[in-house]
A and B are shown apart, each in its own frame.
Chain A
Amino acid sequence: MEKRWLSLFVENDIGVLAKISGLFSGKAYNLESLTVGMTEDETVSRMTIRLISDDETFEQIKKQLNRCVEVIKVVDFTNTPIHMKELLFVKVRKCSKGDLDELFRIAEVFGVSITDYDKESVLMECVQTESKNNALISLLSSDFQSIEVVRGGSVAIESISITER
C-alpha cells in the first residue's frame, strides 16, 4: 500500500464530483483527499486526488476513472515533477502570554502567516506541502492545549523546472 496522486481533468458539470467520489466509495477504494476547482477553461475542472492503494488497485482505479464519460484525462502525479501545496488553517486557543510569543516565533521559522489573533488565540494560515503541514500540526498539538485544524487537501500542477511536493 502506497500513497498516490492523481490529477483529473473533468467536465465542469453538476454531478461529476458525485460520480468520482461515488466510484471510490462504491468500489471501496481508499480516497484520502480530493480537491476540485475551476480552470482557465470554464468548461473544465481539475481534481487533485490523494489515495492509498497497492499497484494493481491503482491501475484499476485509473482505468475506472478513464471509463467515466465525464473524465477527460487522468494524469498520474505519483512520480512526476510537480508543485503541490495545501492550505491549512490552525487556530490555537487558551494561550498564555508565553504561548503567544512562541507561536509568533514558530510562524516566522515555518514561513506561516498569522492572519488573526487576540489575547489568548492565534489563527495561523499555512500554504505548504502536505508533509510540512503535518509537521506543523504535530508540533502545535504536542506543545499547545487546544488547537483546531482545517485542511484544504492538496492541489498540484506539473513543474516547469523544479519539483516541490
Chain B
Amino acid sequence: MEQIRGTSLLVKALQEEGVDTIFGYPGGLVTDIFDELYHHDDIKVVLPRHEQALVHEADGYARSTGKVGVCLVTGGPGAANMVTGIATAYYDSVPLVCLSGQVASSLIGDDAFQEADIVGITRNICKHGVIVNDRKNLGRILKEAFYIARTGKPGPVLVDLPKNVMVELGSDEYPDKVNIRGYKPSTKVHIGQLKKAVDLLNTSQKPIFLIGGGVNIAGAQAELTKLVELTKIPVVTTMMGKGSIDTKHPYYLGNVGMHGNYAANMAVTECDLLFSIGTRFSDRVTSKISEFARNAKIVHIDIDSAAISKNIKVDIPIVADAKEAITAMLNYVNEHETTEWLQQLLSWQAAHPLTMQSNNGLTAKKVIDHINETCQDAIVVTDVGQHQMWTIQFLELNSNMQLLTSGGMGTMGYGFPAALGAKLGNEDKTVICISGDGGMQMNIQELATAVAEELPVIICLFNNSSLGMVRQVQTLFFEKNYSSICTRRRKSCPRKCSGTSEQCPPYSPDFVALAKAYGAEGIRVTTEGEIASAFQQALENTHAPTIIEFIIDKDDLVLPMVQGGKPLYEMILEH
C-alpha cells in the first residue's frame, strides 16, 4: 500500500467516480487541493466568479447530465457563499458533492482566520454533511458522499476538509463499496400495493395522472408516455414535472397549481382518482389543502416516504422509484374508457385556454413561441419570476429537450449560472437561459465565466423594468402600491409612483453595453419583427454568450393565478 496525501486521494476519488469537470474557487484553505488538481489534465476545473453561482453551475450540470455535480471552495466566506446554492439543490433533489476547505483541526474552535462551521450552517439544507476529522476516514467519507448524493432521493452532500487532513499521508485506497447502516435507500416496488392502486384506476370514472419532478429525475419519461398511451388517462404536471411527457401529447393538459391552466386545475379538482407520481404536493401545487382533489381517492408514489401523507392524506401510499413503479404498472394496466371525462376536460380547455393578455406588441409569449418553432432540442433554463412562469406555461417540450428551473426555493440568480453548467455538460446542445432584469443581475458576473469558457449560451433577458412577479402581486392584491419593485427608480423619482412616464430615468445597467464589456454579445429587441434575426445572430455567435434583451411591458401578467390560501378552482383568469 502506497502512502499518499489527502489531496491525492481526493483526486483519485474524483477519477474513480468518473468526474471530469468540477467547479472550483480557490482560497487559503484549499491551496493544496488546487495545487494537486494543477497536475491532472483529466479533470477540468471551471472557475466561476462567485461561489453561489458556482453551486448553481454544478447544479445545472448535474440536472442536465444526471451526473453528480462537484463543487470545491475555500472555507469561511467561500463556504458561506455556497449556502443559497446548496439550499436550491436540496429542495429540487439535485445530486451534488460540495467540498469546502476548513482550518486545520487543531485550530477549529479558536475563531481562526476563515473558520466557519459550514457543516452546522448547512445542516438543515443538506442531504448529509460531514467534516473529515481523520485522514484515515477520507476515502470512506468521499465514497459515501457520492453514494448518498446520487442514490434514493438525490441531494447535496457537504464534505468539510480540514487543511491538515488534506496534506497528511495515508492509505491510497479508495473503497469500492459502501455500507452505511443508517442509509439503505430502497427503490423496489411493493407489488401488492401497486396492484391495489391499479385496481382503483380501473374502477375510476374520472382519473388523472399528476406527475412531479420525480419522474424527470428518475428518467421515466418514456415509461410514463407508454403508461398514458396504454391507459388513455389524461396527465397534468407540476412545474418540476413538466417535460415528463411531450407537451404536445393529446393526453397532456398542462400544469397545475398557482399558475396552472384552467383545465388542469379543474381536472384535479373534479377527478375521482388522483394518481400522483413523484411529487411532494407543495403548497404551490395544492393551494387550499381541504379543497384539493376534494372528490378524489389519492394514490401517491414517491421515493421519499417522508413526502407521503405529509401535506395531503393519501389512500394508497407507495414508496418507490418512479421508473420502477411505472415499469411495473405497465404489466397490470388496461385501456380505460374515459371519453366522457376527456370531453369535459376538452371543454374546460376550450373555455379558458392559456393566453397572454397584453396591450403591447412584444411579449414573452411571442419569444417563447419563436423558441417553440425553431429549437426542438434545446435545454431551457429559467430564472425566477414572471418570465419563469411564462416559460413554464408556454414552452413546448419534447423528449430531446429539458427544462431546468428552481422550483422548491425559487432562487433568483439561479438561471444564468445553471445554464452555463448545462452547457458545460452538453456542449452539442443549444442552451437557452430565460431571465429577468432582476434575477439576471443576481449573478451577472458569470458573463466572465461564460466568456472564459467560450460558452455560447443564449440569454433571453425579459426587461420589464421591474421585479415583475412582485409587482403583479401588488397590482392584484395591494391596490397598485408599487413598493420597491421599480428597477428604473432613482433618487430623483417621486416617493410614490404608479406608472411610467416620459420623464422616467433610463434603465441601468445598459445590458447590451454590459454584455459587450464582458466580451459577450448584446442585442436589444423592442418589436416582434426583430425576434427571429436576434436569435439568428445569437446562434452565429458560437464562442461567447449573447444577451438578447427583450423590452416588454411591465403590466403583462401571469394568468391564471390562484391567490395563496384560495382553492385551486378559484383562479383569477383575467385582469
Q: Which residues of A contact B (CB under 8 A)?
A: 10-11, 14-15, 18-19, 22-23, 26, 56, 59-60, 63-64, 66-72
Q: List 8 A-B contacts (CB under 8 A).
A: A15-B123, A15-B131, A19-B123, A22-B123, A56-B313, A67-B304, A69-B127, A69-B180
A92 to chain B, nearest CB (A): 39
Partner of B306, one of A10, A64, A70: A64
Residues of A within 8 A of B181 (CB): 72
Residues of B within 8 A of A11 (CB): 182
Asked if residues A69 and B120 are in contact (CB atoms below 8 Å), the reply is no
Asked if residues B148 and A26 are in contact (CB atoms below 8 Å), the reply is no
A29 to chain B, nearest CB (A): 13
Number of A-B contacts (CB under 8 A): 42
Q: Is B365 an interface residue (CB 8 A)?
A: no
A126 to B269, CA, bound (A): 58
Given contacts A70-B182, A72-B181, A72-B182, contact A63 B306 (CB under 8 A): yes
Residues of B within 8 A of A69 (CB): 127-128, 148, 180, 182-183
Asked if residues A23 and B124 are in contact (CB atoms below 8 Å), the reply is yes
Residues of A within 8 A of B183 (CB): 69
Partner of A26, one of B119, B124, B129, B310: B124
Chain B 91-125 interface 0/1 with A at a Cβ cutoff of 8 Å (1 = within):
00000000000000000000000000001100110
Q: Is B309 an interface residue (CB 8 A)?
A: yes
Asked if residues B182 and A63 are in contact (CB atoms below 8 Å), the reply is no
Residues of B within 8 A of A67 (CB): 304-306
For chain B residues 269-314, which have a beta carbon within 8 Å of chain A? 304-306, 309-310, 313
For chain B residues 219-278, which have a beta carbon within 8 Å of chain A? none
Chain B 361-403 interface 0/1 with A at a Cβ cutoff of 8 Å (1 = within):
0000000000000000000000000000000000000000000
Residue of A nearest to B153 (CB): A67
B382 to chain A, nearest CB (A): 28
Residue of B nearest to A10 (CB): B182
Give the B interface residue count (CB, 8 A): 21
Given contacts A11-B182, A60-B310, contact A66 B305 (CB under 8 A): yes
Asked if residues B305 and A63 are in contact (CB atoms below 8 Å), the reply is yes
Asked if residues B124 and A22 are in contact (CB atoms below 8 Å), the reply is yes
For chain B residues 297-349, which have a beta carbon within 8 Å of chain A? 304-306, 309-310, 313
Partner of A56, one of B131, B180, B309: B309
Given contacts A15-B123, A18-B120, A23-B124, contact A71 B182 (CB under 8 A): yes
For chain B residues 437-479, which have a beta carbon within 8 Å of chain A? none
Residue of B nearest to A68 (CB): B182
A60 to B309, CA, bound (A): 8
A90 to chain B, nearest CB (A): 35
A66 to B183, CA, bound (A): 9
Asked if residues B123 and A18 are in contact (CB atoms below 8 Å), the reply is yes
Residue of B nearest to A72 (CB): B182
A114 to chain B, nearest CB (A): 40
Residues of A within 8 A of B182 (CB): 10-11, 68-72
Residue of B nearest to A26 (CB): B124
Residues of B within 8 A of A19 (CB): 123
